Chain A
Amino acid sequence: MTETAPNDLLRKKPSRSSQFRIEQMDGEYLLYSVNETRTIYLNDTAVLVFNACNGELTVGEIVSALSEAYPDAKDAIGDDVVTVLREFENHGAIELA
Chain B
Amino acid sequence: MKPVAIATDQANDESALVMARDVPQKTPLGPAHALLALLARVDMDPACAHAVETAIARDGVWNRFLDLAEDHAMAPLAYHHLVRQPVTSNAATLPKTLRRGLQALVLRHRDADIILNDNLAEIVAASRRANLQVLVLKGGALCHILYPDSSMRPRRDIDLLAHPREAAAMQACLGQLGFETPAKHGARAMRFHHHLPIASRQCDGMQVSVEVHHDALSGDYPDRLRIGQLTSPAQDFDVPHGNGGKVTASALGHDDMLCHLCLHALEPGGPFRLIGLADIVSYACRFEGALSLGQANQDTRANTLALLHYLAPLPPQLGKFAPPSHVPVPDGVGLNMPTLKQLFSMPLTSSQRLNKLVFPSPWWMHAYYGVAPGQPLGRVRYGRHLLRICRWALRRGFAISLPG
Contact = CB atoms under 8 A, between A and B. Distances in A.
B212 interface: no
Contacts of A72: none
A34 B104 contact: no
Given A34-B108, A34-B111, A28 B205 contact: no
A39 B111 CA distance: 14
Contacts of B83: 26
B204 interface: yes
Contacts of A35: 205
A35 B83 CA distance: 25
Dominant SS among interface residues on chain B = helix
A32 B104 contact: yes
A41 B111 CA distance: 18
Place the interface of chain A in its size category.
10 to 19
A25 interface: yes
Contacts of B100: 28, 30, 39, 41
A30 B205 contact: no
Interface residues of B, number: 12
Interface string B83-124: 110000000000000001001101110010000000000000
A25 B106 contact: yes
A23 B107 contact: yes
B269 to A, nearest CB: 25
Contacts of B84: 26
A41 B96 CA distance: 11
B204 A34 contact: yes
A30 B106 CA distance: 12
Contacts of B206: 34
B204 A39 contact: no
Nearest to B1: A37
Contact of B103 (A25, A34, A38): A25
Contacts of A39: 100, 103-104, 107
Contacts of B106: 25
B76 to A, nearest CB: 12
A24 to B, nearest CB: 11
Interface string A9-40: 00000000000000101101010101100110
B104 A30 contact: yes
A37 to B, nearest CB: 8
A25 B104 CA distance: 10
B111 A30 contact: no
Interface in B46-105: 83-84, 100, 103-104
Contacts of B108: 34
A48 to B, nearest CB: 21
A32 B205 contact: no
A77 to B, nearest CB: 26
A38 B107 CA distance: 11
A25 B101 CA distance: 12
Contacts of B111: 34
Contacts of A26: 83-84, 103
Interface in B189-229: 204-206
Contacts of A25: 103, 106-107
Contacts of A32: 104, 107
Nearest to B101: A39
B85 to A, nearest CB: 11
Interface string A34-55: 1100110100000000000000
Contacts of A41: 100
A22 to B, nearest CB: 11
A34 B107 CA distance: 9
Contacts of B204: 34
Nearest to B103: A25
B206 to A, nearest CB: 8
A39 B104 CA distance: 6
B95 to A, nearest CB: 14
B111 to A, nearest CB: 5
B53 to A, nearest CB: 21
Nearest to B115: A34
A17 to B, nearest CB: 13
A83 to B, nearest CB: 20
Nearest to A35: B205
Given A32-B107, A39-B104, 9 more contacts: A26-B83, A28-B100, A28-B103, A30-B104, A34-B204, A34-B206, A35-B205, A39-B103, A41-B100
7 contacts: A32-B104, A34-B204, A34-B205, A34-B206, A39-B100, A39-B103, A41-B100
> Would you list the 10 A-B pairs with minimal beta carbon distance, nearest first?
A39-B104, A34-B111, A25-B103, A32-B107, A35-B205, A34-B205, A23-B107, A26-B83, A41-B100, A30-B103
